[in-house]
Homo-oligomer: A and B are copies of this chain.
Amino acid sequence: MAIRYTGSDSVQPLFEDLKKQLAEKNIPLSYQRLKVLGYLVQSRSHPTVDMIYKDLKKAIPTLSKTTIYNTLRTLMQAGLVKGISIEDNETRYDIELDSHGHFKCESCGTIYNFSANIDSLQVEGLDDFKVNDRNVYYNGICPKCLSDMNSNVD
């Protein structure tokens, strides 16, 4: 399977580490920010702003969508969160961990992580460029949808 970082045992330490990183950067963790960060850490589902909003709204009825946008911008500027846009109008957000690729299923829309050693990619002609970030996006059909398709063929 391609999904990584899903072991629930790794969630808690990760969360603690992120909180520490924010403290070090003097970014105060309000209740809302804490919840957004916790959502990203625990779901690991590359959610959209709307997904985060709808889910957290249950626990925080006064929550505003603007706060989600603001918080995500703050977390991105702090380098803890990354926005990923795979040919979709809605940006998705992911905790910034060690380099990994993203696979988007064209059938169900799910975005999977997969292990990718970005240093192994042979590139040419970037000698004079200052590279800050490297992303790998794949598209295709995920195993789940592949088997669904096969069982629906008549």
Contact = CB atoms under 8 A, between A and B. Distances in A.
A126 B138 contact: yes
Copy total for this chain: 2
B114 A124 contact: yes
Given A129-B143, A135-B136, A114 B120 contact: no
Report which residue of A1, A129, A138 has the largest number of chain B beta carbons within 10 angstroms of its beta carbon: A129
B141 A129 contact: yes
A109 interface: no
A125 interface: yes
A113 to B, nearest CB: 8
The 8 A-B residue pairs with the shortest CB-CB distance in the complex, in nearest-first order: A2-B125, A128-B143, A115-B124, A120-B122, A117-B122, A132-B140, A130-B141, A135-B137
